[in-house]
């Protein structure tokens, strides 16, 4: 490509959701002090085909070296930059039940600039409790806390019937990215990014795949 401005826009969404996987694969090589990888090695680690990896990277305008492969450090930097991971992303978790507490305690959360900075619940009997190094705040404090800490991502870990209310509260407070663990489709205004993780759906798909008539079918997201 001509010029120094990489073609950052128009990255296909399927590609975007694989970039984090490549990034993790690169970290794996880095911890083994490997400084160069071929698309074949990296793809194997990431669980995709080499062709797909190269096509995906080509959308970033990323350049490896033909005949040699990719520089682990350089490609890591490019992916980190493309994903916007060279800044801090303060996270709030709403709903401190079983799942919320596991998430709040999750150390893997803290990698790559994601930091749990606030916890909320509406149950008076848990408000004020300490989970890790944070106190559980009430829902009434949400707007102020979100603004003061600059919360960028809200995680919803409440029961399904509260999830829409919580989403509305988060959006109202200025949060524009939501990770939802409740099994409902949230209605959100344009411009608010949302990803849902749905355990029941995953189990159902596995059940479908395990039916005798359909053994071996592949529904994707296997990795």
Ligand X SMILES: NC(=O)c1ccc[n+]([C@@H]2O[C@H](COP(=O)([O-])OP(=O)(O)OC[C@H]3O[C@@H](n4cnc5c(N)ncnc54)[C@H](O)[C@@H]3O)[C@@H](O)[C@H]2O)c1
Residue 2 interacts with which of DNA, ligand X, a copy of itself, none, CB < 5 to 8 Å by class = a copy of itself
Residue 65 interacts with which of ligand X, DNA, a copy of itself, none, CB < 5 to 8 Å by class = DNA
Candidates 27-35, 59-67, 176-184, 196-204: pick the segment binding DNA (CB under 7 A). 59-67
Nearest residue to ligand X by CB is: 97
Contact between 132 and 157 (Cβ < 8 Å): no
Question: C-alpha 16: how far from its chain's center?
Answer: 11
The residues binding ligand X (CB under 6 A) are: 94-100, 102-103, 106, 108, 120-123, 126, 139, 157-160, 162, 165-166, 181-183, 199
The residues near 185 (Cβ < 8 Å, ≥ 6 apart) are: 196
Residue number with CB closer to DNA (28 or 168): 28
What does the block give as tokens for 217?
């079918």
Euclidean distance between CA atoms 52 and 77, whole angstroms: 20
* Strands 114-121 and 36-37, sheet pairing: unpaired
Nearest residue to 82 via CA among 10, 30, 25 = 10
196 part of the interface to DNA, by CB under 7 A: no
Residue number with CB closer to ligand X (88 or 111): 111
Euclidean distance between CA atoms 57 and 166, whole angstroms: 37
Residue 120 C-beta: closest distance to a copy of itself, Å: 18
220 part of the interface to DNA, by CB under 7 A: yes
């Amino acid at each position: 490509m001509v010029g120094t401005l990489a073609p950052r826009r128009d990255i296909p969404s399927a590609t975007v959701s694989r970039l984090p996987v490549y990034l993790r694969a690169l970290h794996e090589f880095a911890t083994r002090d490997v400084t160069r990888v071929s698309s074949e090695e990296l793809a194997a680690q990431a669980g995709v085909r080499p062709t797909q990896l190269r096509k995906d990277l080509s959308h970033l305008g990323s350049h490896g070296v033909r005949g040699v492969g990719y520089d682990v450090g350089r490609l890591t930097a490019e992916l980190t930059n493309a994903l916007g991971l060279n800044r801090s992303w303060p996270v709030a978790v709403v709903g401190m039940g079983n799942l919320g507490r596991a998430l709040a305690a999750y150390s893997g959360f803290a990698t790559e600039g994601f930091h749990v900075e606030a916890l909320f619940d509406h149950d008076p009997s848990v408000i004020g409790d300490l989970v890790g190094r944070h106190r559980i705040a009430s829902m009434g404090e949400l707007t102020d806390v979100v603004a003061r800490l600059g919360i960028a991502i809200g995680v919803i870990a409440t029961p399904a019937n509260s999830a829409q209310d919580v989403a509305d509260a988060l959006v109202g407070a200025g949060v524009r990215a939501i990770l939802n663990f409740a099994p409902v489709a949230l209605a959100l205004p344009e411009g608010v990014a949302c990803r849902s993780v749905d355990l029941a759906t995953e189990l159902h798909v596995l059940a479908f795949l395990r039916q005798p008539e359909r053994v071996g079918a592949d529904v994707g997201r296997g990795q």
